[in-house]
A and B are shown apart, each in its own frame.
Chain A
Amino acid sequence: GIQVEQSPPDLILQEGANSTLRCNFSDSVNNLQWFHQNPWGQLINLFYIPSGTKQNGRLSATTVATERYSLLYISSSQTTDSGVYFCAANTGFQKLVFGTGTRLLVSP
């Protein structure tokens, strides 16, 4: 099945800094989503982005399907951005397979 890898595994930022999180996947995808897992464990949808670029406030994402990677950009980071960011993908409309996540800590 599809393999999903994320980097970096951990990231520490000062408030106000920008960051880029990367997700590599091993096969062509039908679905690719980015999630933020908050400290209470809930997975919050950030983007549904099997291809192209989307923006939502300080967050944006780009997926280059032909090169099998996706990037999540966080600009002007805030302490509330802390948590774990997951990328998940599937092929053939099957189950989503999750990466191991990037743990982000934004300090004041």
Chain B
Amino acid sequence: DTGVSQNPRHKITKRGQNVTFRCDPISEHNRLYWYRQTLGQGPEFLTYFQNEAQLEKSRLLSDRFSAERPKGSFSTLEIQRTEQGDSAMYLCASGHTGNTIYFGEGSWLTVV
């Protein structure tokens, strides 16, 4: 059973550097979601794709953030010019429209 896979699991970067996270969803799931979670809070929605189309972006997703899902398979989330406030766990999830969604183990980002 291959669940949602996220890489890297942990990333420490210096302020101002760019980072990229990858998510491999459960195969054949048409929807893919990105969330961000900080300590003591619930996950906050960032963006989601249906196949390769990005259908919604949160206002949390500033112009330093970009997400792609080429060919409707894996997805990448890039953060440019990282800031300390970007430190969080970035969660990816996948599912079929109108059905259960499944989360990966998350990618922890620390900006120093």
Could you tell me which A residues sit within 8 Å of B by CB distance?
A: 30-31, 33, 35, 40-43, 45, 48, 86, 88, 93-101
* Docked-complex contact A86 and B108, CB < 8 angstroms: no
From the candidates B41, B42, B89, name the one contacting A41 in the complex (CB within 8 A). Answer: B89
Is B28 at the interface (CB under 8 A from chain A)? Answer: no
Instruction: Given A33-B100, A42-B105, answer yes or no on A96-B45 (Cβ-Cβ < 8 Å).
Output: yes
User: In the complex, how many residues of chain B place their beta carbon closer than 8 angstroms to a beta carbon of chain A?
Assistant: 24
The residue in chain A whose Cβ has the minimal distance to the Cβ of B100 is: A48
With an 8 A cutoff between CB atoms, is B48 at the interface?
Answer: yes
A43, B48: Cβ atoms closer than 8 Å: no
Q: Are A42 and B33 in contact (CB under 8 A)?
A: no
With both beta carbons as reference points, the residue of chain B lying nearest to A50 in the complex is identified as B98
- Choose one: B33, B89, B102; the contact of A95 (CB below 8 Å): B33
Q: A-B pairs with the 10 shortest C-beta distances?
A: A98-B42, A43-B103, A48-B100, A95-B45, A42-B105, A98-B43, A41-B106, A93-B98, A100-B42, A101-B42
